[in-house]
Amino acid sequence: MSRTSLSVLGSTGSIGRSALDIVLKHPDRFKVLGMAAGKNLEVTLEQARLFEPEILSVAEEVYSSCKESLFGSGIKVLSGEEGAVAVAAYPGAEVLLSAIVGDAGLPPTWEGILPGRTIALANKETLVAGGSAVMGRIREKGARLVPVDSEHSAIYQAMKGHDWKSVRRVILTASGGPMFGKTKEEMAHVTVEEALNHPTWRMGPKITIDSATLMNKGLEVIEARWLFDLPSEKIEVVVHRQSIIHSLVELVDGSVLAQMGVPDMRGPISYAISGDERLVLDVKSLDLVLLGQMTFHHPDHEAFPSIRHAYRALERGGQSCLWLNAANEVAVAHFLEGKIPFSLIARIQGEVLEQAPVFEARTLDEIRKSGKAARNKAQELAEKYAGTEEIPGNPNHNGQMAAPVPGGARRN
């Protein structure tokens, strides 16, 4: 079998590194053609020397050092969004792994949708922000969109050989994140360290905070809506603390299909980039006796309003999902910088999504402009609330109005 040529967007991240680990173990199966990274020069250079791509892009800040270090290597070095787009659109890659974090991943993914190509999609924000426009472009170009996200990969794997007409509902599993069991009142006091301490997955900081607020599951509900062309009534969420069942599909005859395994993203990544082939991976075996039990709960929508925001955005339509996504990114960045308390992330999401235009953004340019407008709204709100420990105007647990407390989110 000839080697699959692969380009990786977000090569230095958690998904990117796992993907390149698979390539390293299967040199007869893959060849890396292009790589796009951000500011991590050390890892970028290591990867460039190991995989010898034809084209590479990094953040503007590290461009000169990168170019200088790779002088004479024959690798074409580019930078910034233009560079990432050039890597994505570079012809010859049969598979494009989209794993830049956040809405920065949308322009390269969009431009990388080329005839006959497989887009292995980790960057869920692309579908949340771009929804019908992205799916339209996939169809128009004759590309193939394959999920990398573990839940969607589970559904995709479970549905192999089954007819989508036979689906009663899909059930996305959520770990519940590190804040599972906390009350609404306790949310204001969650520290950055606590929120970054995911119980089952090791991922980049943005998605880890999304998991802590359960926005990740909200984004995944929207992702499932577009990937599988399902109405939101057929998409449900259940909290499963162990992250062993990666998601389930219930068929019209009551049969339930599940995909299971120890939490390790190399499984879903390899399935997506290999064209549904089962590659040998050194992923641990599932020991059911050691596991002992699996638990299931309804999500607590009072303490974690973000999943409801996602359903609301789908119901409201137009640019609501795009605005929800942009608001979330701004709010998460503010939380990570210690500028706003954890509980305000969901508040900002909810306020911004209600201001979204109710007509669709159809082109990349429209999506980008709209995303910027949403970011500005979220920024204004974040600045307005910065330094407040409690949500202004919301009664605290004693029923009194909370006074803003300087200091914002605490790190310890």
Ligand X SMILES: CC(=O)[C@@H](O)[C@H](O)COP(=O)(O)O
Ligand Y SMILES: NC(=O)C1=CN([C@@H]2O[C@H](COP(=O)(O)OP(=O)(O)OC[C@H]3O[C@@H](n4cnc5c(N)ncnc54)[C@H](OP(=O)(O)O)[C@@H]3O)[C@@H](O)[C@H]2O)C=CC1
Q: Which residues are annotated as a binding site for 1-deoxy-D-xylulose 5-phosphate?
A: 124, 150-151, 175, 198, 211, 216-217, 220
**Interface with ligand X, residue 211, by CB under 6 A:** yes
What, of ligand Y, ligand X, Mn ion, none, does residue 211 touch, CB below 5 to 8 Å by kind?
ligand X
Residue numbers belonging to the annotated binding site for Mn(2+): 149, 151, 220
**Interface with ligand X, residue 217, by CB under 6 A:** yes
**Rounded-to-integer distance, Cα 97 and Cα 118, Å:** 8
**Rounded-to-integer distance, Cα 41 and Cα 63, Å:** 9
Containing 344, the helix (H) or strand (E) segment is helix 343-353
Half-sphere exposure of 137 (CA within 13 A, CB side): 20
**Interface with ligand Y, residue 38, by CB under 6 A:** yes
b/e string for 230-255 if b means 16 or more Cβ within 10 A? bebebbebbbbbbbbbbbbbbbeeee
Which positions ≥6 away from 356 have C-beta within 8 Å? 313, 316, 318, 319, 320, 322, 323, 324, 370, 374
Least Cβ distance, residue 219 to ligand Y (angstroms): 7
Give the residue with the Cβ less far from ligand X, 54 or 223. 223
Residue numbers belonging to the annotated binding site: 12-15, 38-40, 123-125, 149-151, 175, 198, 204, 211, 216-217, 220
Binding mask 365-384 for ligand Y (x = CB under 6 A): --------------------
**Interface with ligand X, residue 150, by CB under 6 A:** yes
What is the pairing mode between strands 235-239 and 245-251? Answer: unpaired
CA distances from 374 to 108, 159, 314, 322, 398 (A): 20, 36, 16, 8, 34
Least Cβ distance, residue 208 to ligand Y (angstroms): 8
| Cα separation of the two ends of the chain | 54
CA distances from 231 to 60, 147, 221, 252, 305 (A): 41, 18, 10, 16, 20
Binding residue for ligand Y (CB under 6 A) from 6, 16, 23, 370? 16
Binding mask 147-166 for ligand Y (x = CB under 6 A): --x-----------------
Which positions ≥6 away from 20 have C-beta within 8 Å? 8, 11, 32, 47, 50, 51
What, of Mn ion, ligand Y, ligand X, none, does residue 177 touch, CB below 5 to 8 Å by kind?
ligand X
**Rounded-to-integer distance, Cα 104 and Cα 84, Å:** 10
**Rounded-to-integer distance, Cα 113 and Cα 139, Å:** 10
**Interface with ligand X, residue 175, by CB under 6 A:** yes
Give the residue with the Cβ less far from Mn ion, 34 or 147. 147
Least Cβ distance, residue 194 to ligand X (angstroms): 14
Give the residue with the Cβ less far from ligand X, 103 or 151. 151
What, of ligand X, ligand Y, Mn ion, none, does residue 174 touch, CB below 5 to 8 Å by kind?
ligand X
What, of ligand Y, ligand X, Mn ion, none, does residue 94 touch, CB below 5 to 8 Å by kind?
none
**Interface with ligand X, residue 149, by CB under 6 A:** yes
Counting other chains too, the contacts that 208-212 makes at CB distance below 8 Å and 24 or more residues apart are 209/332, 209/335, 209/336, 209/345, 210/328, 210/332, 211/174, 211/175, 211/177, 211/178, 212/177, 212/178, 212/179, 212/342
C-beta separation of 180 from 195 below 8 A: no
Binding mask 148-187 for Mn ion (x = CB under 5 A): -xxx------------------------------------
Give the residue with the Cβ less far from ligand Y, 138 or 251. 138
**Rounded-to-integer distance, Cα 298 and Cα 278, Å:** 33
Least Cβ distance, residue 387 to ligand Y (angstroms): 27
Give the residue with the Cβ less far from Mn ion, 34 or 299. 299
Residue in the structure block whose two tokens are 């929508």: 301
**Interface with ligand Y, residue 37, by CB under 6 A:** yes
Q: Which residues 261-300 are close enough to bind ligand X by CB under 6 A? A: 265
Which positions ≥6 away from 369 have C-beta within 8 Å? 361
Binding residue for ligand Y (CB under 6 A) from 12, 47, 211, 213? 12
- Region of 46-54, 170-178, 250-258, 374-382 interacting with ligand X (CB under 6 A): 170-178
What, of ligand X, ligand Y, Mn ion, none, does residue 306 touch, CB below 5 to 8 Å by kind?
none
- In the complex, the residues that contact ligand Y under the rule CB under 6 A are 10-16, 36-40, 84, 99-101, 104, 122-125, 149, 201, 203-204, 207, 265
Q: Would you tell me which residues interact with ligand X (CB under 6 A)?
A: 149-151, 174-175, 177, 201, 211, 216-217, 265
